[in-house]
Amino acid sequence: MELAEFIQYARGDKPVDILLKNGRVINVFSGEIIETDIAIVGSRIAGLGTYEARTVVDLNGRYVAPGLIDSHVHIESAMVPPPEFARAVVPRGTTTVITDPHEIGNVLGYAGIQFMLDRAKGIPLTVYVNAPSCIPSSHMESAGATLEADDLSPLLKEANVLGLAEVMNFPGVVAGDPGMLDKIKTFSDRIIDGHCPGLSDKGLNAYVAAGIASDHECVTVEEAMEKLRLGMYIFIREATNAHNLKPLLPLINSDNSRRICLCTDDRQPADILAEGHIDFMIQTAIAEGVDPITAFRMATLNPAEYFRLNDRGGIAPGRRADLMIFSDIQRPVAEMVYQGGQMVAQDGKMLSWEWPAPAYSLPVSMNVDWSKVDFTIPAEGPRVRIIETIPEQLITNTIIEATPQVNGRVTTDISRDILKMAVIERHHGAGKMGKGLVRGIGLKRGAIASSVAHDHHNIVVIGVDDQSMLTAVKTVATTNGGMAAVDGDEVLAQLALPIAGLMSDQPIENVQQQMEALLAAAHELGAVLHDPFMAMSFLALPVIPSLKLTDHGLVDVDNFQLTSLFV
């Protein structure tokens, strides 16, 4: 629509398309709740107040908030492509997400990123992309692709690409690694997101000086405050395996709340469908005492301004008619959701919508040299380094204990909760395999395995005995990727993820049901964590402290180098 014509609607010269009458608007600009009507023309808000309209919807005093924005999410972690992801989160009030497709990018390179961009077109959810900055995340892992600055630069021409995604190789930035700096310079006029867990003092100064503007890895108020003081935006995260919301809520005050956003990062189907998405974070924040308008602002106006999305984030003339409508300000649950001026969801369900389902042809992503798969570990020292998981966190501890061994070979010791762990390269058939030990998973028998192993997404497996571990990894491979829980030769439960070994081609409810069966099987085997598969997937990520395992071997993340299993 031409601007002059749109102004005529705003002036009230012509009847608007839709008038949402008798609403209570959450005004994130002024900090008020205003009783008024909302006039919509096409995809945008024409004005607030009394208008003539072709269609009138009486809200009967319901609250109206701007559509929610997820500041940082990996859609692949929901284990479904963008259309199914939209079907899960839009009814909960999310109308815009900023995604980093580095999961599929690490498996399939540029083709994987293009797949996500293509599948996000024409759906009732605005999906913005930040170009993956770290494929691979470090030199200590084997990914399916390597993307340098020149490989990423074509993404600058894509309309929905905003900037550079989380710069995880923070040691490389601080050290002035030329490849990392080339990527930052390529996107220097765009938004550059960060990822720097535990970084402090002069190292943090150097990281921020590079132009990196945000961080979503804070686990304490003190860490977040240091980063806020240096000008960073803080994205508070509530993921499946990283519960940082409640610990960081004391951070929020009237002086700094405009520099804080909300994100989910990695959230699996069960949590999305049972608890919610960004709406769950808002509900939790309000229940913990955060002012409701402040809570909504962190999920609307703040991220819109940070990402320079001036067409959304608030309810005002000219902005997109992305709206979440609900009845209870103390526990906002979406009853109606408008996206681009159309009601797309009601009472927790999507309305009829014809979504494009283009055929896709992606390379097979399961290439394992099975002749090199051997879980034997010769005992080469009296003590070993063990990865210790921390419940509800992505960081781990490093512990050193006496080597569990029998007949000169390292073994598991369930009395000390010490299990074997392995990461098997699956992209190029190179035969690489890292082996280590882990505590905190709790298995008493059997094994669990997955082709979701951040961020290289090789096959990761944890088990009590070698036979169970072999059965688990072979079960994963038979479906071009997925997850499995086994006991000896018996497969107790599995989930096929044929799209790059990361996503299912089934409805998200089916994925949830299969995931619940997997979790039940893992818990039957003794697993003690809420989601041991998600926890296991991050034990392979060598950019979050302090001890991790990749197909290259054990990684001392604090010193950013490979280290020996034996001390």
pLDDT tens column, 319-346: 999 999 999 999 999 999 999 999 999 9
Write down the pLDDT at residue 430: 95
Is the pLDDT at 44 greater than 70? The verdict is yes
Q: How confident is the model at residue 359 (pLDDT cuts 50, 70, 90)?
A: low
What average pLDDT score do residues 336-358 get?
87
Specify the CATH class of 67-314 in words: alpha beta
pLDDT digit string, tens, across residues 291-318: 999 999 999 999 999 999 999 999 999 9
CA 132, chain centre distance (Å): 13
Is the pLDDT at 354 greater than 80? The verdict is no
DSSP 5: H
The C-alpha torsion from 210 through 216 and 219 to 220, rounded to 10°, is 60
Mean pLDDT estimate for the chain? 96
Ranges 119-123, 187-191, 345-349, 449-453: which has the least confidence: 119-123
Q: Provide the residue count of the chain.
A: 567
What average pLDDT score do residues 492-499 get?
97
Write down the pLDDT at residue 324: 98
Q: How confident is the model at residue 131 (pLDDT cuts 50, 70, 90)?
A: very high
Angstrom distance (rounded) from CA 308 to CA 304: 6
Angstrom distance (rounded) from CA 359 to CA 227: 44
* The token pair that represents 223 in the structure block: 């860490």
For residue 45, the one-letter residue type is: I
Is the pLDDT at 406 greater than 90? The verdict is yes
pLDDT digit string, tens, across residues 516-560: 999 999 999 999 999 999 999 999 999 999 999 999 999 999 999
Is the pLDDT at 364 greater than 90? The verdict is no
pLDDT digit string, tens, across residues 65-78: 999 999 999 999 99
Is the pLDDT at 357 greater than 80? The verdict is no
Angstrom distance (rounded) from CA 215 to CA 301: 18
Closest by Cα among 216, 202, 201, 193 to 224: 216
pLDDT digit string, tens, across residues 228-281: 999 999 999 999 989 999 999 999 999 999 999 999 999 999 999 999 999 999
What is the b/e burial string over 117-143, where b = at least 16 CB atoms within 10 angstroms of the residue's CB?
bebbeebbbbbbbbbbbbbbbbebbbb
- Phi then psi for residue 462, to 5 deg, are -130, 135
The domain segmentation of the chain, as residue ranges, is 67-314, 370-563
* The token pair that represents 544 in the structure block: 């979050």
